[in-house]
Every structure is written in structure tokens, then in C-alpha cells.
Amino acid sequence: DTGVSQDPRHKITKRGQNVTFRCDPISEHNRLYWYRQTLGQGPEFLTYFQNEAQLEKSRLLSDRFSAERPKGSFSTLEIQRTEQGDSAMYLCASTQGRALHFGNGTRLTVT
């Protein structure tokens, strides 16, 4: 299957720890997005890459969050000093046109 792949599927961490998630987009998709989804809500935009360039960041993305896409292929999202409010599903999506294709997400639980 050549869909969007995210790793890990689940992450449980203690408050204050750092976590990193990985997203492998569909190959040749030049645009990559990170979204966050909390319970009972739709996904909310976090950040966007065109190739390796990070072109947009939401106000939701505090200084504790950083995302990279160093070679224009896979991307990582790191959260430093996690807080309980960071508990959510983190979704990655990629596209080359208008159809955004999502991965299955990484569910983060901060205890």
C-alpha cells in the first residue's frame, strides 16, 4: 500500500517529556500537512510544507512544536516539554493536487 504512513500509531508519555512523530507521505506528493484532532472535533491545521520549505504555521503551533521535512520527503513533528493539553490525534496529509490524503494518525496521550 502506498498511502500516507505515520509512526508510531500510539504514544503515551509523561508530562514534560519530548516526543517526535514521523510521517511518510505518498511518494511524489510535494505538499505535506500536519493537523491535530481532539475528541469531538474536526482536524485543525498546524503546518504545511511545499517540498522541504515550511510555508505556513498555525497560531496553534506554539514554540514547543517544531516540524521538519529535510529532504522534501518524510516529515517529523516534535513536541517539547509535553503538556496534558497536547493529548490529541496528530494527522499527516499529503497531496500533489487538490485531494488531501490522510494517514491513520498518531494518538498522543500525555499523563
Partner 1 sequence: GEDVEQSLFLSVREGDSSVINCTYTDSSSTYLYWYKQEPGAGLQLLTYIFSNMDMKQDQRLTVLLNKKDKHLSLRIADTQTGDSAIYFCAAMYSGGGADGLTFGKGTHLIIQP
The count of chain residues that interact with partner 1, using the rule CB under 8 A, is 24
Q: How far apart are CA 58 and CA 67, in angstroms?
A: 12
Least distance from partner 1 to the Cβ atom of residue 81, Å: 26
Q: Exposed/middle/buried for 87, CB within 10 Å: 0-12, 13-18, 19+?
A: middle
Among 19, 61, 91, 110, binds partner 1 (CB under 8 A): 91
Phi, psi of 32 (to 5 degrees): -135, 135
Using CB under 8 A, which of 1, 27, 42, 70 touches partner 1? 42
Q: Which residues bind partner 1 (CB under 8 A)?
A: 4, 6, 31, 33, 40-45, 48, 55-56, 91, 93, 98-105, 107
